[in-house]
Amino acid sequence: MLDPYNRKINYLRISVTDRCNLRCRYCMPEDGVCMLKHKDIISYEEIQKVVKIAVSLGIDKIRLTGGEPLVRKDIVELVRMIAEVDGVKDLAITTNGVLLEKFAQPLAQSGLQRINVSLDTLDAEKFTQITRGGNLYSVLKGIEAAQKAGLHPVKINCVIEQSSDEPDALAVKQYCAENGLQVRFIHQMDLSSGHFSIVEGGSGGDCAHCNRLRLTPTGKMKPCLFSDLEFDIREMGIKGAIEAALLAKPEKGTINLSNCFHNIGG
Ligand code: SF4
């Protein structure tokens, strides 16, 4: 499907939860966040319906995000439900990797094709400081398990402050080169000020070639990460919400005052 700027939109990012088992400083505020109510979170059956209709309209690439998608109960079952939808050519997940060692094999067996794992530093102490309590080694073991499970490619999302020449970024780059991993550098973004830039080694933030829509955990179809516009699948119907979001896609992102990264999945 084409949006009003003739961009081919074939990619749907689905945030399945606002919950996370880490508290990264650039994502979650110090004093925590108010979590979405369970009753407002859309079910796996609703998500599968969205995927079926989205595919019939031209979507063929699906990414599951969060919060942290692996903390949502029975996430492997959701992957299986999406993988069985005809027309889904590319099924990926973005995870912080903390639970990945346990989930890599079952995810791969359920039809997941590829994975992005967040890793900003290889300094264990700094990792714990950035994530407010995370353990670097659980993530490194998760990455290994993902490669062993045959997920490919395994990409590393490395958030940088200023440049990919920062010492932590260079260390992550070398780690990736030594372990057959692809690295992408993500400049810190700010939804409320509209500060963002193109992902180094990826396609995010490249508005001129934007190909995506987003679905929030509460069933809001969003035309753009840096916009307040959203269309409720429960109110408008799934097809109506997708078509409205497509028509409302902006030429480029501006600001988003209604979402946070942990409930829209970046
Ligand atoms: S800011 Fe909006 S238009 Fe730009 S790449 Fe992101 S989602 Fe697409």
Instruction: Quote the pLDDT of residue 85.
Output: 98
**In angstroms, what is the span from residue 195 Cα to ligand 1's centroid?**
12
For residue 69, the domain's CATH number is 3.20.20.70
Q: Is residue 1 part of a domain?
A: no
Pick the atom of ligand 1 nearest to 211's CA: 8
Query: Is any ligand 1 atom within 6 A of the Cβ of residue 224?
Result: yes
Residue 197 lies in a domain: yes
Q: Name the residue with the closest Cα to ligand 1, atom 6.
A: 205
Inside any domain, residue 3: no
Tokens of 200: 């180094």
Q: Which of 226, 229, 261 to mutate to test the pocket of ligand 1 (most atoms within 8 A of CB)?
A: 226
Q: Count CB atoms within 10 A of the CB of residue 124.
A: 13
β-bridge partners, 200: 185
In a domain, 23, yes or no: yes
Q: What is the number of domains present in the chain?
A: 1
Indicate if ligand 1 lies below 6 Å from the C-beta of 112: no
- Answer yes or no: are the C-beta atoms of 39 and 46 closer than 8 Å: no
Cis ω before 201 (30° cut-off from 0): no
Relative to the CA of 250, which ligand 1 atom is closest?
3
**pLDDT for the residue numbered 32:** 66
Evaluate: CB of 205 within 6 angstroms of ligand 1: yes
Residue 2 burial (C-beta neighbours within 10 Å; 0-12, 13-18, 19+): exposed
- Closest ligand 1 atom to the C-alpha of 204? 5
Query: Does the residue 38 lie in any domain?
Result: yes
Counting from 1 in the atom list of ligand 1, the atom nearest the Cα of 196 is: 1
Confirm if 22 and 98 have CB atoms less than 8 A apart: yes
Please give the structure tokens belonging to residue 236.
Answer: 């408008």
The answer to whether residues 158 and 169 touch, using CB atoms and an 8 Å cutoff, is yes
CA–CA separation, 5 and 211 (whole Å): 11
**pLDDT for residue 152:** 97
What is the span of the domain harbouring residue 225? 11-263
Decide whether any atom of ligand 1 lies within 6 Å of the 228 Cβ: no
Full pLDDT tens readout for the chain, 266 residues? 999 999 999 999 999 999 999 999 999 877 767 788 888 999 999 999 999 999 999 999 999 999 999 999 999 999 999 999 999 999 999 999 999 999 999 999 999 999 999 999 999 999 999 999 999 999 999 999 999 999 999 999 999 988 999 999 999 999 999 999 999 999 999 999 999 999 999 888 999 999 999 999 999 999 999 999 999 999 999 999 999 999 999 999 999 999 888 888 77
Rounded to two decimals, the pTM is 0.96
- Using CB atoms within 10 A of its CB, is residue 46 exposed (0-12), middle (13-18) or buried (19+)? middle
Q: Which atom of ligand 1 is nearest to the CA of 209?
A: 5
210 CA → ligand 1 middle, Å? 6
The finding on whether 252 has its CB within 6 A of some atom of ligand 1 is yes
CB of 70 within 6 A of ligand 1: the answer is no
Query: What separation in Å is there between the alpha carbon of 59 and the centre of ligand 1?
Result: 16
